[in-house]
Structure 1
C-alpha cells in the first residue's frame, strides 16, 4: 500500500483553506492535515469527522508551526489581513499614532515570514504555496499610479477594456488553483529537490490568464475616437458593444474640430463632430470606424441649453449621425458662456470642481450623478449606429 503524502493546509476551516481541503481530501495520493487555532471548535470537529488530521498551531508561534509542518510534502499557507484587523483583541495594540491597518500590515508580514522560514526547514517539502492580499502599501505594478499636473491620481489599465478575465471564487476555486502547480510539476517532471528549485509563477502562467479559459481570440475591429476624453471613449465603447456586438479595439486620438472651443449653435456643433470624425480618419486610415463627438450649446430666448452631436464614419463609406437630448443650464453658467468661457471651465467655476469635463460633466453635476457624461453620450452613439445595424437600408 502506497503511503499518502502529507499536505498541510493553514486556515483549513476558512474559505480558501476549505476549498483546498475539498480538492484533496478524497485523493488517494494525499493525506490532508488541517491547521487551526482551536481544534475544539465546531468547524474543526467537522473536518475531523470528514477524515482531516486536525492539528493545533498558533500562527505567531514558530515552535507550534514547526510541529504542524513536520514531514509535509506540500504546504498551503493563507494569510488573513482582515482576520487580524477585525479581531477585537487587537484594537489597542497599535502604538500611539499608528493606524490599525498599518499595525495589521506589520503583523501579517511577520506571520508570513514565519510561515516561510519554518517551511524552509522541512526537508521533505516539495512545494510551498502561499495566498495573500496584494501589496496595497506598495506601488502596484499593474495599476502604475501617477500624479497628474492638477494633482489627480491616474491609474493605468494594462488589460484591454474588452479582455475577458475569469472570476475566481475564493471558497470554490482555491483548491483548483492549488492543484494546478502540483499537476504541472508532476507532468513536466520538474525536480523539486532543494538543489534545483526552479522559480515559476505557476498560477499566473497556467491558470489566471490562459486563453483556453476565455473565448478564443478574434480579429479586432479598430474604432478610433476623435478625442482622448475618457467619457467620450467610454460612451463609444458602450454604444458599439450594445448596438453592434463584436470584438473591438477602442483608441482615442487628439484631432482638431476646426470650430470654436465652445460651439454656440446646432450647425457649428454638428460641423465640429463631422470634422473630428474626418480628421481622425485622415490620421488613422487603417481603422474600421471613426467617431466624432462634439458638445455644444444654443440659445433659447434668454436661456442656454447644452447638447452634443455624434458622427460615425465607417470604412465602407457609411455615415451615422445623432444628437443627444438637450438640457438647460443655470444662469451663472449661462453668464460665463456669454463671456466666452468654455462649458467645462464654467462648470468648474460654478460647482467648485476640477477637470469636470473629463469626469461626469455638467449633466452629471446637475443630475447629482444620476446621468453622467458617458451615459449621456451613449444613447446618441447607439442612435448614430442605426445605419450600420441596418446595412441593407439607405439613410
Structure 2
C-alpha cells in the first residue's frame, strides 16, 4: 500500500507510521496547504483543512491513499478546546473523517488564540521551548506528557484506517 500524508510535520508523519505498524506500506510526505487559516477556530474549519490536505496529498503523488491531519480549536460554553481531525481519501471515494482527543486550554492561551495568534508560537513561548507543534504539542504540555501529539494523531489515523478497512 502506498500512502501519502499531506504534511512535513515530523509529529504527523510519526503518527501515521505508528498507526501503520504491522502493515506493509510505503509512506511519502508532501508539503501541502490546508486551505484554511493558520489557526483553525472551529471543528468545521479544522475538518476542511484535513480534507484539503488529504486531497492534495493524493493528487500530487501516485499513492493509493491520501491522509490529511489538522489541529485546531473549538469554542464551547466550557472554554476553548483543542481539537484534531483527520481525513483519509482513496481514489474515487468520499473522504473518511475522524476526530480525536479534546482538552480545554487555559484561559491565558485561549485568549491569545481568540485574539488572532496561532497556537504553535504561543505554546513555544508558554513552554519556553522551540517547535512544540513538531514534538509533544500543546496536548503533551497540558497533559504533563501523558499524551503527546504523535499519540493523539496516531489514534485519529487508526480510526481512519479502521473505517477504510470496514468499508472496503
Interval containing the TM-score (normalised by the shorter chain) = over 0.9
In structure 2, the residue matched to 1:386 is 162
Residue 292 of structure 1 contacts residue 312 of structure 1 at CA under 8 Å; is this kept in 2? Answer: yes
Structure 1 segments, 4+ long, off by >3 Å, are: none
Q: 2:27 aligns with which of 221, 244, 250?
A: 250
Q: 1:238 aligns with which of 18, 32, 46?
A: 18
- Contact 2:50 2:70 survives alignment (8 Å): yes
> 1:257 is paired with a residue of what secondary structure?
coil
Shift of 1:248: 1.1
What is the DSSP-based 3-state SS (H/G/I as helix, E as strand, rest coil) of the residue aligned with 1:298? strand
Once the two structures are TM-superposed, the CA of residue 353 in structure 1 deviates from its matched residue by: 1.3
| Residue number in structure 1 paired with 2:52 | 275
- Displacement of 1:339 in angstroms is 2.0
Q: 3-state SS of the aligned residue for 1:291?
A: strand
Query: Of residues 82, 89, 110 in structure 2, which corresponds to 1:306?
Result: 82
1:385 alignment partner, SS class: helix
Q: Does residue 136 of structure 2 align to residue 328 of structure 1? A: no
Q: What is the CA distance between 1:316 and its match in structure 2?
A: 5.6
Larger Rg belongs to: 1
Alpha carbons 1:259, 1:268 under 8 Å: kept: yes
Shift of 1:320: 1.9
**Could you tell me how far 1:318 is from its partner in structure 2?**
5.4
Q: CA RMSD in A?
A: 1.5
Q: 1:373 maps to what in 2?
A: 149
What is the CA–CA distance in structure 1 between the aligned matches of 2:135 and 2:163, rounded to whole Å? 30
Higher RCO (C-alpha 8 Å, min separation 6):
2
Structure 1 gap ranges (5+): 1-220
> Matched residue of 1:340: which SS?
coil
Alignment match, 1:56: none
* Selected match of 1:297 from 68, 73, 79: 73
Find the aligned partners of 1:319 and 1:341 in 2 and give their Cα distance: 30
What residue is the counterpart of 2:132 in the other structure? 356
- How many angstroms does 1:350 deviate by? 1.3
* Contact 1:227/1:254, CA 8 A, preserved across alignment: yes
- Aligned residue for 1:279, secondary structure, equals helix
Distance, in Å, in 1 between the alignment partners of 2:79 and 2:48 is 23
The equivalent of 1:180 in structure 2 is: none
Indicate yes or no: 2:135 matched with 1:347: no
